[in-house]
Amino acid sequence: MSYLFTSESVSEGHPDKIADQISDALIDNFLAYDRQSKVACETLVTTGQVVLAGEVKSEAYLDVQTIAREVINGIGYTKGEYMFNGDSCGVISAIHEQSPDINQGVDRSGEDADFETRANSQGAGDQGMMFGYATNETDNYMPLALDLAHSILKELSVMRQEGSEVSYLRPDAKSQVTIEYSDDHKPVRIDSIVISTQHDEFGSDEAMLAKIRKDMIEVLIPKVKYKQKREIQELFNDQIKYHINPTGKFVIGGPHGDTGLTGRKIIVDTYGGKGAHGGGAFSGKDPSKVDRSAAYATRHIAKNLVAAGIADEVLVQVSYAIGVAQPCGLYINTFGTSKVNMTDGEISERVQQLFDLRPYAIEHNLKLRNPIYQETASYGHMGREPFTATRIFNKGRKDERVEKDLEFFTWEKLDRVEDIRNEFGI
């Protein structure tokens, strides 16, 4: 019997995503001026206010107020009627020094020590389990419902920033896509699409809703569909149930409509409910925190395993004890889709020989101790296209400008496919 599966996404203007972006902008600036910074930074946003809190061990001094304001303005909260404006909101900082009890379990060797010494001595920043997932139902090895939900809001963001067709749009938005799957887990059709987008006040409630509904269905969705490959385009159909601003009005939004906190969109950040999640958020954490770095590492493993043809679908779990370098365990589930004559346990043993999951090794191999994280804080940490770019940082030490050439989304590279094929003899 067929079944329905749903995933959601939120825009960069959603309150929780504003908080994530501010937290990750702080991480980037700390790392730009001091690569060894240890940071766990939380952000709260509400009507006219931003609160920064957390623990930091760093040689860098940052103008955190200016960083937060630049993020908010960059998202598009630039008008007084939004009741949350980057130029006028209050920014309160309660950031303090990291606990030495935690730090002593993470830093045990000097920066000049060789790779093996550092990899064996740098323990995990916390206990816990992290998951990575990949499926071959999309070209970026992500679940289709989430990929489409992200695509809808990314296209909506472009339309908002261009402004010509939909000048009434405001930054806050959410999407949701429900897909019907066959018994053999193949997508058959899109069943329903939900879009809730913040907007200016114009005309009567009925006129506003009619205009927004028309633009979403007749302008936005065709743009999204056009950018999909043919097999995905065929899933769009005349029977899709559209729920466009289903409450009828969405003028009050952003942090004025709903308080935002760092780390409250962890399913949007990962796999849209497919696979599994260990519970730890990513944003606001430097890469010594395995909540973040090991989640990236397990995604890297899962994606390369699927791309290598080991299975159609792979879930990878790794777990740690705080202060201990070697993982407590590695688990792999291929959901019965394995293409090799091995059990999932045997596949796991081979993977452990190929991938070094000690925290320092993850940082080193994926180049994570770089200021690359604000890019991850909206539209998902996984399934993104790796790229290189130059970034300039000028909000650290006074009058000191830092320019860096950076690699983004290194965990999305298919750089271990041949190693895996050689190991598994395929």
- We report the CATH number of the domain holding residue 148 as 3.30.300.10
CA distances from 399 to 42, 393, 394, 396 (A): 26, 11, 7, 8
Q: Does residue 237 have a pLDDT over 50?
A: yes
User: What whole-number distance in Å separates Cα of residue 251 and Cα of residue 414?
Assistant: 43
- The structural domain count of the chain equals 2
Task: Give the model confidence (pLDDT) of 269-295 as tens digits.
Answer: 999 999 999 999 999 999 999 999 999
Instruction: Please tell me the predicted confidence (pLDDT) of residue 109.
Output: 60
Q: Would 403 be classed as within a structural domain?
A: yes
User: What whole-number distance in Å separates Cα of residue 142 and Cα of residue 268?
Assistant: 12
339-352 in b/e burial notation, b at 16+ Cβ within 10 A? ebeeebeebbebbe
Q: Would 404 be classed as within a structural domain?
A: yes
Q: Any idea which of 161-170, 296-305, 354-363 has the lowest mean pLDDT?
A: 161-170
Whether 413 contacts 296, CB under 8 Å: no
Same domain, 132 and 174: no
User: What whole-number distance in Å separates Cα of residue 262 and Cα of residue 24?
Assistant: 9
Do the annotations mark residue 241 as ligand-binding? no
Same domain, 317 and 414: yes
Do the annotations mark residue 250 as ligand-binding? yes
Do the annotations mark residue 16 as ligand-binding? yes
Do the annotations mark residue 173 as ligand-binding? yes
Do the annotations mark residue 264 as ligand-binding? yes
Q: Would 235 be classed as within a structural domain?
A: yes
Same domain, 295 and 245: no
Do the annotations mark residue 69 as ligand-binding? no
Instruction: Please tell me the predicted confidence (pLDDT) of residue 161.
Output: 92
Same domain, 238 and 357: no
Do the annotations mark residue 413 as ligand-binding? no
Q: Would 389 be classed as within a structural domain?
A: yes
**Residue 259, phi then psi, degrees to nearest 5:** -60, 140
Do the annotations mark residue 176 as ligand-binding? no
Number of Cβ within 10 Å of residue 252's Cβ equals 14
Bridge partner list, 49:
46, 90
Same domain, 353 and 375: yes
Q: What is the dihedral of CA 273, 276, 278, 282, to 10 degrees?
A: -50
User: What whole-number distance in Å separates Cα of residue 113 and Cα of residue 276?
Assistant: 36
Query: Across residues 90-98, what is the average pLDDT?
Result: 90
Q: Would 201 be classed as within a structural domain?
A: yes
Q: Does residue 172 have a pLDDT over 90?
A: yes
Do the annotations mark residue 162 as ligand-binding? no
**Six-digit token string for 294:** 């090991």
Residue ending a domain, choose from 252, 280, 299: 252
Residue ending a domain, choose from 202, 225, 252: 252
Same domain, 420 and 293: yes
**Six-digit token string for 175:** 């999407």
Do the annotations mark residue 42 as ligand-binding? yes
Give, to the nearest 10 degrees, the angle between helix 64-75 and helix 15-33.
Answer: 130
**Six-digit token string for 213:** 């509904």
Same domain, 219 and 297: no
Whether 397 contacts 29, CB under 8 Å: no
Do the annotations mark residue 14 as ligand-binding? yes
Same domain, 219 and 303: no
Q: pLDDT exceeding 70 applies to what percent of the chain?
A: 96
Same domain, 223 and 312: no
Do the annotations mark residue 98 as ligand-binding? yes
Q: Would 263 be classed as within a structural domain?
A: no
Q: Would 371 be classed as within a structural domain?
A: yes
Task: Give the model confidence (pLDDT) of 134-160 as tens digits.
Answer: 999 999 999 999 999 999 999 999 999
Q: Would 171 be classed as within a structural domain?
A: yes
Q: Indicate yes or no: pTM above 0.85.
A: yes
Do the annotations mark residue 174 as ligand-binding? yes
Same domain, 200 and 308: no
CA distances from 234 to 202, 329, 342, 424 (A): 36, 42, 36, 35
Range(s) of the domain holding residue 164:
3-9+144-252
Same domain, 132 and 166: no
Whether 347 contacts 384, CB under 8 Å: no
Residue ending a domain, choose from 233, 252, 271: 252
Whether 310 contacts 338, CB under 8 Å: yes
Same domain, 394 and 318: yes
Whether 52 contacts 64, CB under 8 Å: yes
